[in-house]
């Protein structure tokens, strides 16, 4: 006999109360469902052992006898768990504590405990996967946190971690100290062929899923962003990482840094503030995606005193809008990722809202944070509701294909078939 559970309004369950959905199959019947590509009506989804074992029109899906059924009316949208393309679980907003002080003054114990809270916030917000791009001075702490999630010690999204990231000697911070003072850096320095080969291999051995490199940084004569590594150095990093089956992601804000990173063979470029039409055309030709992190620059400018919506846009925001428009015009693949950590964890939807504000449609952004991110980031078992996919599913109140802000109204979160919010 089917046991109905009527889900019309939100009822909060503790993240520590994970009994529902752990034994036997779970069935969800949804009047409206976004499958990662388009809206479907009157679908049934069956979850078992962390996998979607059936999904399709309700008339075609057999409901196992004796299972619980979650009914979602047409006011709700069932959809894949969202994928955050650029996060820093070991950072918190800079208007709370500056980046320098987080790196230099916060203990690893404090940073790890904060990260646990950050993971909880993101999972409750419907993000069941995070790509974490750099521990920012905390070594391989992100690797240990990922392992803790996998062991069930703490709740959190699936994590794809980059470890400490690689920077050119002298380029990264914290800076501003006397020459006689040595301070911990926010990433690991390496230069030249042999040194870079050794560092990439060290990070692989340390448990990094991907390798992050800073193709440029703010180390120009006047503090402006300038390229760091040569094209050959970047190619060395990519060659070694790829030989182990790992991709390389590049922080790049300048046109030249983006050009070198693209030619070197990275799979995504982060930020891309100074991208030109020529560079974006090169990225499209080589299949390199852009993760624009619109919300990070927006947050930083507000921390510096910009009264958004009242004051004129600062030059940095004007330039960002222009470069993002160029990327869309050229047709570069867009990864949805906001650099969350610069702004509060759990507020990840802020990036998606800005992607709409800057020129994408609501439906394009919804695809970007689900199926497109899955495809671009090599997560073939996520981002869609279909048989064989991971049972990472959420529901929201409203229709996010028409209003992306409806993603803030998360009602249900299931990760690996386990219900974390209902």
CA distance 384 to 390: 9
Assess whether the previous peptide bond of 174 is cis (omega < 30° from 0): yes
What is the number of structural domains in the chain? 2
pLDDT of 128-143, one tens digit each?
999 999 999 999 999 9
Same domain for 216 and 242, yes or no, is yes
Same domain for 161 and 75, yes or no, is no
Q: Could you tell me the residue range of the domain that residue 30 belongs to?
A: 3-81+384-421
Name which of 327, 396, 319 is nearest 360 in CA terms: 327
Residue 248: pLDDT above 70? yes
Residue 217: pLDDT above 60? yes
How much is the pLDDT for 23? Answer: 66
- Residue pair 80/36 in contact (Cβ under 8 Å)? The answer is yes
For 216-230, what is the mean pLDDT? 96
**Max CA-CA distance within the chain?**
75
pLDDT of 2-35, one tens digit each?
334 444 333 333 333 443 445 689 999 999 999 9
95 DSSP β-pair partners: none
CA distance 62 to 80: 21
Same domain for 199 and 114, yes or no, is yes
Place of tokens 């995070």: 130
Same domain for 112 and 213, yes or no, is yes
pLDDT of 290-330, one tens digit each?
999 999 999 999 999 999 999 999 999 999 999 999 999 99
Same domain for 49 and 142, yes or no, is no
CA distance 267 to 248: 6
The CATH code of the domain that includes 21 is: 2.30.40.10
Same domain for 117 and 66, yes or no, is no
Same domain for 148 and 269, yes or no, is yes
Same domain for 148 and 186, yes or no, is yes
Assign 3-class secondary structure to 226-237: EECCCHHHHHHH
Same domain for 347 and 398, yes or no, is no
pLDDT of 350-379, one tens digit each?
999 999 999 999 999 999 999 999 999 999
Same domain for 192 and 132, yes or no, is yes
For 82-98, what is the mean pLDDT? 98
Percent of the chain topping pLDDT 70 = 95
Same domain for 131 and 11, yes or no, is no
Q: Between β-strands 166-167 and 188-189, what pairing exists: parallel, antiparallel or unpaired? A: parallel
Decide: pTM greater than 0.75: yes
How much is the pLDDT for 66? Answer: 82
Same domain for 75 and 171, yes or no, is no
């Amino acid at each position: 006999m089917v046991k109905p559970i009527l889900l019309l309004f939100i009822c909060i369950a503790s993240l520590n109360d994970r009994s529902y959905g752990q034994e036997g199959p779970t069935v969800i019947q949804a009047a409206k469902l976004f499958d990662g590509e388009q809206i479907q009506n009157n679908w049934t989804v069956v979850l078992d052992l962390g996998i979607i074992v059936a999904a399709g029109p309700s008339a075609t899906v057999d409901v196992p006898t004796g299972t619980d059924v979650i009914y979602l009316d047409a006011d709700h949208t069932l959809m894949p768990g969202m994928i955050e393309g650029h996060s820093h679980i070991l950072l918190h907003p800079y208007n709370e504590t500056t980046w320098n002080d987080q790196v230099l003054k916060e203990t690893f114990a404090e940073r790890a405990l904060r990260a646990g809270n950050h993971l909880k916030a993101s999972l409750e917000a419907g993000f069941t996967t995070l790509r974490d791009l750099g521990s920012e001075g905390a070594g391989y702490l992100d690797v240990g946190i990922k392992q803790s999630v996998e062991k069930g010690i703490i709740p959190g999204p699936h994590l794809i971690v980059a470890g400490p990231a690689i920077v050119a000697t002298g380029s990264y911070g914290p800076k501003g100290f006397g020459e006689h003072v040595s301070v911990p850096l926010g990433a690991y320095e390496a230069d030249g062929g042999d040194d870079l080969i050794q560092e990439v291999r060290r990070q692989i051995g340390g448990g990094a899923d991907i390798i992050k490199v800073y193709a440029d940084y703010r180390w120009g004569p006047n503090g402006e962003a300038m390229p760091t590594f040569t094209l050959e150095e970047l190619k060395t990093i990519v060659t070694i990482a790829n030989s182990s089956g790992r991709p390389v992601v590049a922080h790049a804000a300048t046109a030249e840094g983006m050009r070198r990173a693209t030619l070197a063979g990275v799979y995504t470029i982060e930020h891309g503030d100074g991208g030109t039409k020529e560079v974006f055309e090169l990225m499209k030709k080589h299949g390199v995606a852009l993760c624009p992190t619109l919300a990070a620059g927006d947050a930083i400018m507000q921390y510096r005193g910009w009264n958004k919506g009242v004051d004129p846009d600062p030059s940095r925001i004007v330039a960002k809008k222009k470069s993002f428009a160029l990327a869309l015009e050229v047709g570069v693949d867009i990864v949805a990722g906001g650099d969350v950590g610069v702004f509060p964890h759990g507020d990840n939807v802020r990036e998606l809202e800005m992607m709409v504000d800057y020129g994408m449609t609501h439906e394009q952004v919804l695809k970007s944070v689900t199926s497109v991110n899955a495809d671009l980031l090599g997560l073939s078992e996520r981002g869609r509701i279909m048989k064989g996919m991971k049972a990472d599913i959420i529901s929201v109140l409203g229709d996010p294909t028409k209003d992306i802000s409806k993603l803030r109204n998360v009602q249900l979160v299931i990760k690996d078939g386990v219900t974390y919010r209902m």
